[in-house]
Every structure is written in C-alpha cells, then in structure tokens.
Amino acid sequence: MDWNSFLGHERQRAWFRNAIQNNRLASTFLMVGPDGIGKRTFARLIAKTMLCTGSEPSAFAPCCRCEACAQIDASSHPDLIEIARRPDKTSLIMEQLVGEGDRRMREGLCYELRMKPYSGRCKIAIVDDADTIAEEGANSLLKTLEEPPPGSLIFLISTSVQRQLPTIRSRCQMARFQPLTVNSLAQLILRHAYSDNPADALSLAAQASGSMSTVANWTNEELRMFRTELFHQLVQRPLDFTKLAKAVQGNMESVGTDTQPRRERLKVILDFALQFYRSGMELQLNAQSADASDSAAMAQFGHLMSLDSDSFVTAIQRCMAAREHLDRMVSPASLIEAWAADLAVISQA
Ligand SMILES: [Zn+2]
C-alpha cells in the first residue's frame, strides 16, 4: 500500500505532509471517523512514510521496496507497535498497554514505545479500537500521552470523540476523517473483489454509507438473508413489533454467548434498518427521476413503503438513537424491544 493507491482523505494527507515537511508533527493523534473508511491504513502509511529507508519522510512517498516498507506491510517492523481489542474482549486490556503481572511496566505498548528505535528514526504506536479503552487502561496510558518519548508518534483510532475519556481527548491532537465518497468506495469494492462489475459496485457503494465495513456486511451471504427478512418485516402494516424483536434477538444470539460479538451483530442489524429507512426516503424523493442511485436491494420494497417524509426522519432518528444507546452498554434485549415497539408506532403515523 502506498499513498497513490490509498483512496480519499486528501485534506488529512495534505495536512500530515505539511506537518512532516515542516517538522511540526505532534506526538499524539486521535484519529476519529466511522468504521471501515481507512483510518488505520492511513496511520500505517504515515508509519511507512516515517520509517522507509528508501525515501526521506519529507518526500512523503515511501518506496514500498525497502525492507522497512515490507516489514510494515507484514506488521513485523520493530519500531511499529500495533494493538487492537482482542476478539473475545469487550475492551483493550491493561496488559496490552503496560504488561502483565510481574512483567508490568516491563512490556506492553507504553514500555516498547520507550525503547530506543531500532531504525534510529522513531517509535510509532497504533492503538486500534481506542474507543474501548477502559478507565484503568486509560490511566496507565496517560503518562505516555502526557510525556511521549522523544520522537515517538502515537495514533489512537476512534469512531467517536464522545466515547473518549476527557483525560485522553485533551492530550491528543484531533484528526477527523469523513466517510468515503461513493466513487472511492466503488473502486475499493472492485479492488477487494466484493464485486467484479463496475455498475454493481457503484450501486453497492451508494448504499454503504462510505464505509468498507458496511460493504462487507452487505455482501455477507448469511447477513444478506437476514437483511431481506428484516426488510420484509419492516414494510408490514401494522408492523408486528414482537415478531421483529424476536427475529433481531434471535439473529444477535446466533453469533454465540459472548457479549462483544453480540453487540457487534446488533450494531450491524441496526445499520441495516437505518439504511432501509434512508433508502426508502431517497426512493421517495427521487420517485420522478428513476435513474437516481436506485438500489437493487431496496427497489423491491420501495413501492411498499408508505411512510410520509416526517416518519422516515423519525424512524431514522430512532435507529440512530438505538445505535448510540448500544455504545453506552444498555442491555441489548430491552434495547431491541423498545426500538421495535417505537418503529411500530412510527410506521402507523
Ligand atoms: Zn521503503
């Protein structure tokens, strides 16, 4: 991966290029934006730019041929430390930051950052899922954020500023990332072989809210089947909210008993519902111009959707609120029931 093949985020690129060329790069960045838009890849490209031995950082064009570039691609560069939430955990754990048991402060990200750079240039840390750092972990990270080792660079990857503890937020420079454009997303869909047809890629991209994570969910076969079932239920009048809640709960539970995977699944389902109402509203607005980004998945339901535009907006807001509540760890079962019941009321309006 190099800057030429990286899509989007031109403003952030220009900003970082300028900061590197003028030697004004801060130490600690909070990179904020939705999932699946390339924040982590961006941070890794900055790491490549800084650590490439075939090109100076100021050139802002890592060679992608030297050993350092290859090591970064393989996640094996000794000066690049990357951590992310472990799949079976709901948060980043202390051990990842400051080491375990009697190894405390002698391993983990904060310790490794203080080691002398192997390359002689700098140490770089990328903390993915930074939204999930619990308070205890955050406290152990504060000192490192407050006094970063000289020349080190720390990237915290986050989906929401609100989800960051104020103590962390105040110690970082913020870099905001926007969803990808439909054209960029369509190119990525083709590149990653989610589709081999440019027209289909464009249609998929138009529904995916600028995120590759959404593309992956929309193209997953099992999820695709559930989504169709969900859409069928959402167009029913009256909307049978008990049936809807049961179907959603059942699908969420199908991923196992662990809290985190269930939460992730419920988030995907809420996004489907959100997309359903957004597309429905779009179809209604574009009723006269049939050629507008009309999506195959929605077209079959469009004529069944009898909501007025205010109700569309209310339904969209209700889905967004449910998603936010989920982030705040409300019990999923009661969240699903309340959400389904409210949709039933909204759809009667
Ligand atoms: Zn290189």
Flag the least confident range among 65-74, 136-145, 196-205, 338-347: 136-145
Distance CA 149, CA 31 (A): 20
Distance 56 CA to ligand 1 centre (A): 9
3-state secondary structure 26-58: CCEEEEECCCCCCHHHHHHHHHHHHHCCCCCHH
Beta-carbon contacts of 187 under 8 Å, excluding residues fewer than 6 positions away, are: 7, 201
Distance 68 CA to ligand 1 centre (A): 6
What is the pTM for the complete model shown?
Answer: 0.84
Flag the least confident range among 35-44, 129-138, 246-255: 129-138
| Cis bond upstream, residue 238 (ω within 30) | yes
Nearest to 250 by CA among 234, 226, 219, 224: 226
Q: pLDDT band for position 233 (50/70/90)?
A: very high
Distance 43 CA to ligand 1 centre (A): 16
Contact 91, 131 (CB under 8 A): no
Q: pLDDT band for position 259 (50/70/90)?
A: confident
In angstroms, how far is CA 96 from the centroid of its own chain? Answer: 21
Average pLDDT over residues 36-46: 97
φ, ψ dihedrals at 102, nearest 5°: -75, -5
Distance 188 CA to ligand 1 centre (A): 24
Distance 52 CA to ligand 1 centre (A): 4
* Plot region of 162 (φ>0 → left; ψ -120 to 50 → alpha; else → beta): alpha
**Amino acid present at 298:** M
Distance 82 CA to ligand 1 centre (A): 19
* pLDDT for res 297: 52
Higher per-residue pLDDT: 297 or 193? 193
Distance 259 CA to ligand 1 centre (A): 41
Helices assigned H by DSSP within the chain: 10-21, 39-51, 67-73, 94-98, 109-114, 135-146, 166-169, 182-191, 198-207, 212-219, 221-235, 241-253, 259-285, 296-302, 309-327, 332-348
Distance CA 164, CA 133 (A): 8
* pLDDT for res 293: 46
Distance 24 CA to ligand 1 centre (A): 22
Distance 23 CA to ligand 1 centre (A): 20
Tell me, what DSSP letter sits at residue 307?
Answer: -
Domains of the chain: which residue ranges? 10-176, 220-348
* pLDDT for res 21: 96
* pLDDT for res 294: 47
Does the structure show a pLDDT above 70 at 302?
no
Distance 118 CA to ligand 1 centre (A): 15
Q: pLDDT band for position 292 (50/70/90)?
A: very low
Distance 40 CA to ligand 1 centre (A): 19
Distance 321 CA to ligand 1 centre (A): 45
Does the structure show a pLDDT above 60 at 262?
yes
Distance 57 CA to ligand 1 centre (A): 10
Q: pLDDT band for position 22 (50/70/90)?
A: very high
Distance 121 CA to ligand 1 centre (A): 13
* pLDDT for res 78: 95
Average pLDDT over residues 212-221: 92
Distance CA 275, CA 230 (A): 12
Flag the least confident range among 158-172, 249-263, 292-306: 292-306
Distance 6 CA to ligand 1 centre (A): 16
Does the structure show a pLDDT above 50 at 18?
yes
Q: Report the chain's mean pLDDT, rounded to a whole number.
A: 90
Distance 9 CA to ligand 1 centre (A): 22
Pick the CATH number of 10-176 from 1.10.3720.10, 3.40.50.300, 2.60.40.10, 2.60.120.260: 3.40.50.300
Pick the CATH number of 220-348 from 3.50.50, 1.25.40, 1.20.272, 1.20.1440: 1.20.272
Nearest to 113 by CA among 86, 83, 153, 85: 153
Average pLDDT over residues 136-143: 86
Distance 55 CA to ligand 1 centre (A): 6
Distance 79 CA to ligand 1 centre (A): 14
Average pLDDT over residues 321-325: 91
* pLDDT for res 227: 93
pLDDT, tens digit, for every residue of 84-118?
998 878 888 889 998 888 888 888 999 999 999 99
* pLDDT for res 261: 84
Length of the chain: 349
Average pLDDT over residues 328-348: 90
* pLDDT for res 222: 93
